[in-house]
Amino acid sequence: MQEFDLALNAGLLVHAAALLQVLGFLNRGQLTLRCLVLAGNLLYIPYYYFHPDDPLLGAIFWSSVLALAGLIGILRLLHDRHQRPGDRTSESFLNIRKVLTPGEFRRLMQMAEWHTAEQTVELTREGEAVPSLYFVTSGQVEIEKDGASFASGPGVFIGEISFLLGGAATASVRAAAGTEYIAWPREALRKAILRTPALGTSMERLFNQELARKVAVSWSR
């Protein structure tokens, strides 16, 4: 009877482990996914030890390796988030995070080149090619088009029309000294989108929202 109870309890472990991993794979949050999969791997270890007549040492070993790899992944993810706390908390990223999935946002940030303008920097010049897609995280840029100019603050993309259509810049944009902005080299971003079409779809939806916002702002002036 005691052996039956032990087998039953061990059997419940495998169901709990599998359920945790299923819930993890259904979750879109990378940290939650990794934690649930790690918990599942940890529960498999006592199952492999107690359920059969002899412990399955091979299965225990590889479950331990998978658990260790999962733990390393969690620590790296937490480290990356700690390195750039603004990525998650800054209001300038709110619109991006509303459109992109957590995985897409993280992939985009991994390609980002962070800059702070020590003096006025010309990001784009009307009628000329745009080497990168830009996003202003803090500070101010001056946008000049057809002789008219206006200032814009954080949370604005620069060069998105050129990126979408493959043409030249539609406006000249200068970042004031002290402005912080992100640059994504055009070709590197295009290659990433080719590898992950879902990212391209989300970026296009994000740009369409940005263009609609810019049109609304221009009409209100």
- The Cα 146–Cα 169 span in angstroms is 12
The pLDDT value recorded for residue 208 is 85
Burial label for 135, CB within 10 Å (0-12, 13-18, 19+), is: buried
What are the pLDDT digits (tens) for 24-57? 788 767 788 888 888 888 888 888 887 767 888 8
The pLDDT value recorded for residue 85 is 40
Q: Give the three-class secondary structure for 136.
A: strand
Whose tokens are 């009307």? That residue is 126
Q: Give the three-class secondary structure for 62.
A: helix
What are the pLDDT digits (tens) for 131-170? 999 999 888 899 888 878 888 878 889 998 888 888 888 8
**Pairing state between β 113-116 and 180-185:** antiparallel
The pLDDT value recorded for residue 91 is 64
Give the residue from 195, 204, 209, 192 showing the smallest Cα distance to 108. 192
* Listed range (7-11, 13-17, 145-149) with the worst mean pLDDT: 7-11
For the cut 60, the answer to whether the pLDDT of residue 211 exceeds it is yes
Count of alpha carbons within 13 angstroms of residue 104, beta-carbon side? 18
E strand residue ranges, 170-221: 172-175, 180-185
What are the pLDDT digits (tens) for 110-139? 888 999 998 999 999 999 999 999 999 888
Residue pair 183/133 in contact (Cβ under 8 Å)? The answer is yes
The pLDDT value recorded for residue 45 is 85
Provide the pLDDT confidence category of residue 172 given band limits of 50, 70 and 90.
very high
- The Cα 171–Cα 126 span in angstroms is 4
Q: Rounded to the nearest 10 degrees, what angle do helices 197-220 and 102-110 cross at?
A: 90
Give the residue from 99, 79, 167, 92 showing the smallest Cα distance to 137. 92
Provide the pLDDT confidence category of residue 183 given band limits of 50, 70 and 90.
very high
Residue 36 tokens read as 């649930």
Residue 147 tokens read as 């002789």
For the cut 80, the answer to whether the pLDDT of residue 217 exceeds it is no
Cα three-residue angle 210-216-218, rounded to 5 degrees: 100
- The Cα 28–Cα 115 span in angstroms is 30
